[in-house]
Structure 1
Amino acid sequence: MADGEPPKPPPRLEESVKQSQLSPQILYSDVVKAHSQPYSQQPFELNTIFDAESSALKEISTYQGKPSVVFPFSDKQVLVEKLKYVLVGKFSHGRPPMDTIKKFFVSLKLKGDCNSTIFDKKHIFIECVCKEDYYHIWLKLKWFIDGYAMRVFKWSPDFSPMKESSIAPVWIRVECLPLYLFDEMSLLSISNSIGRPISVDPRNINRTMLHSSRICVELDVDKPLLDAILISFKDEVSKNILEKFWVKVFYDEVPLFCSFCCHIGHGTGTCKRRLEDIRSGQGKAEILSADKVFDNMPQAENSTNSTKFVAGNCGSKMGKQIRPSMEWQPIGKHVPNARSDLDNKVAPE
C-alpha cells in the first residue's frame, strides 16, 4: 500500500465463496481415509487398455465344471528364464523399512540394477540384472541390514514361504587331479557331475595351487554327498574307453538342511519342531521312517569307504588305472544330477 492511499476494501462474500470452491479445504480425516483404503480400492491410472480379442490370450477350457486356463509348457520355460537372477531374502526376526533395504543394495555398488520388492512380512524378492551381482549377493548367504539378519536363498518356480530352498552355493575340492586337467573348462566339466558349476578358484586356473582344485557349485544339500568322480577318456572314432581313473571329492562348509521342517541352518536330528512332535507323540510313523535316512547323514570327509583312488598328483604314476575290485561308493542314495556314465562303477585294468 502506497503512502496516502486508502486501504483496499475486503473482498465481497460472494467472491470468497467462489475462491473456496476453487480450492476446497483438505481435511485430515480425508487423508487418513484415503491411505486406509484397501489396495484394490485405491485409485490408479490405466496406461493401456488391452484388446480382449487378442490371439495372445491362452486357451480356456473347463475342468470339473470350473474354468481352466491352459498354458503351453514352453511358455513356462520362457517366463522362468526371465527370472533366472531372482533371489529370496528372508528376515526371520524382524525386517527394516523397505527404503533402508533399497539403500543397502545401492551401497553395495553392484554392476547393474537391483530391484527389491516385498513379498510378505518375512520375505523379499531380489531381482538382479547381471549374473555377477546375483552370485555376489547369494554367495554370502547372510547379510545384515540395519541390524536385521537377512538370509538369501535361490528362487525357484516352486518357491513357497513355508519351505526354504535346499540349493546352496558350496565350494568343493577335487583332489589327485593330473596336471593337464587344471584347465578352467575341464574343472567346470568335472564339477558339473556334482552340481551346477559357478566359479573356479583362480589359483587353479593360473596353476599356482595344484594340490587340489576348488570349484564353487550349486549343491542340493538335502541330497547325499558323493565322495568320488570317475574320469574317463574315450576314442572319438571307436568310442572305446581308453583310460579311467577316480578322484576324491571333499566339501567345504556344507550348510545343514532339515528335511523335516524344510529349513537351512540345522539338521533333522536337532530340529525343535521334530523333537516337539516326538514328545507329543504326533507323527511317529513319519519320524521313525525319516530316522532311517537321517541316521546315515553324509560325512564326505570321514567316509569309511575302502575305495582306492588313482593319484594324479599324489605320488603315483599319472594315468594309472584302477583295479577291478575298486567300486564307486556314493554316500547314501544316488544324486539325480550325477552323470549316468558313472554308473558302471568298475574301472577295468
Structure 2
Amino acid sequence: MTASHLHDPGFLDGNSPSHSFREVLSGTSSVSRFSPLKVSSCHVLPALLISNEELDALGARFKFALVRKFPGSRLSLESIHKFFFNLKLNGELSVIVLNKNNVLIKLRNDLDCCRVFAHRSYFVNNCYMELDKLSSHFDVCVESPIIPIWISFPILIPHLFSSCILQGLGFIFGQPLKTDNATANGSRPSVDRVLVELDITKQYPDQIWLDSETLGYAQNVEIEVFPFYCGHCKALGHSKAECSVLHPILLLSPYM
C-alpha cells in the first residue's frame, strides 16, 4: 500500500496554523519532495518504511539543532532563553520541550551551533546540562557517541596552513567544526588543531598520508583522549568492561 506523492512542510517551526493533512500535503511551496511512502510490515509489526534519503531530507531543517539533556531536574524555558541570550549568539534560536528531561535547541547558523556544541555541557543556575547533536536517528533515551573532540596535526608543513586543507583533514575523521584561535591566527605553527565531531565507538589512525601520492608524507595525528562509551548502556562515562549492569560483581568489589 502506498500513499500519494507529498510535500513535507515540516513541523516544530512555530509559525504554521493547524491544517488538515490534505491541505498541508497538497501545498506547492518549496518544501521537501517525497516518493510514495510504503505502508508494510517489519519485524512482525505494522510499519511505515522511510528511506535513508527521505530521513536525511526531513532532518535537513534541523542541521543546526542540539538537544539539551538534563540528568536531574530541568530548568524553566525562561532560564534557558536567558542563558542563550547572555551568550550573545549571532542568530536567533528557539527552544522546544521534548519531554521532562530534554529540550530541543534550534539554532539558525553553523557558527552558533559550533560555538555552543563545542562545550558539550554547562552548569546554569546550578543545573547540569548535556548537549547532543540532533540526527535523523536520534533517540532521547540514549546518549549519542558522537561528540566534539580536538584533533592535533603537529609540525604541519607551512604551505598546508589553509582552512581548506584543515577542513579536509577533519573530514578524514568526522565532521569538522572549527579550528582553535592559535591555529586560525597562525600564532602556533608547531601544532594545528581542529575540532571534529567523532564517533567515539570507532578507532582512528595515528598517522595519515598527506599531499600527493608520490611526494606526500606520513603526517602524525594526535587525538584528545575521549570518554569511554558503553555500547550496552548506550551511555558515556564507562566501558563495557566497567559496566555494572553487565558485571554486577563490580558493585560488590569497587576496587577490582
> Do the structures match in fold with TM over 0.5?
yes
Distance 1:120 1:188 in 2: 36
AA in 2 matched with 1:181: L
Residue in 1 that maps onto 2:95: 116
What is the CA deviation profile of residues 54-86 of structure 1, one whole-angstrom value per residue up to 9, with x for unaligned ones? Answer: 656974665359986566764433221111011
- C-alpha change, 1:277 and 1:116, in structure 2 (3 Å) is farther
Whether 1:63 and 2:35 are equivalent positions in the alignment is no
- C-alpha change, 1:138 and 1:196, in structure 2 (3 Å) is same
Distance 1:184 1:60 in 2: 41
Residue in 1 that maps onto 2:81: 102
Distance 1:193 1:212 in 2: 18
Residue in 1 that maps onto 2:226: 254
- After the TM superposition, which residues 63-212 of structure 1 pair with which residues of structure 2 at under 5 Å, given as runs? 63=40, 74-212=53-191
Distance 1:217 1:61 in 2: 36
Distance 2:81 2:199 in 1: 30
- C-alpha change, 1:220 and 1:50, in structure 2 (3 Å) is closer
User: How many equivalent residue pairs?
Assistant: 228
Residue in 2 that maps onto 1:219: 198
Larger radius of gyration: 1
Whether 1:244 and 2:216 are equivalent positions in the alignment is yes
- After the TM superposition, which residues 43-58 of structure 1 pair with which residues of structure 2 at under 5 Å, given as runs? 48=19, 51=22, 55=26
Q: Percent identity?
A: 24
- SS for the counterpart of 2:246 is helix
**Are the equivalent residues in 1 in contact too, given 2:176–2:197 (CA < 8 A)?**
yes
Residue in 2 that maps onto 1:276: 248
**Structure 2 unaligned runs (5+)?**
1-16, 28-33
AA in 1 matched with 2:72: H
Distance 2:196 2:121 in 1: 18
**Are the equivalent residues in 2 in contact too, given 1:60–1:67 (CA < 8 A)?**
no
**Are the equivalent residues in 2 in contact too, given 1:58–1:71 (CA < 8 A)?**
no
Q: Which moved more, 1:171-180 or 1:148-157?
A: 171-180
What is the CA deviation profile of residues 253-302 of structure 1, one whole-angstrom value per residue up to 9, with x for unaligned ones? Answer: 4232222211122333323323328889xxxxxxxxxxxxxxxxxxxxxx
- C-alpha change, 1:197 and 1:107, in structure 2 (3 Å) is same
- SS for the counterpart of 1:136 is helix
Distance 1:113 1:85 in 2: 11
Cα distance, 1:102 vs structure 2: 2.5
Distance 1:133 1:126 in 2: 11
Q: Where is the strand percentage greater, Structure 1 or Structure 2?
A: 2
Distance 1:157 1:270 in 2: 30
TM-score by length of 1: 0.58
Q: Which moved more, 1:98-107 or 1:145-154?
A: 98-107
What is the CA deviation profile of residues 199-243 of structure 1, one whole-angstrom value per residue up to 9, with x for unaligned ones? Answer: 12343344321212111111111111321111141xxxxxxx321
Distance 1:263 1:108 in 2: 28
TM-score by length of 2: 0.77
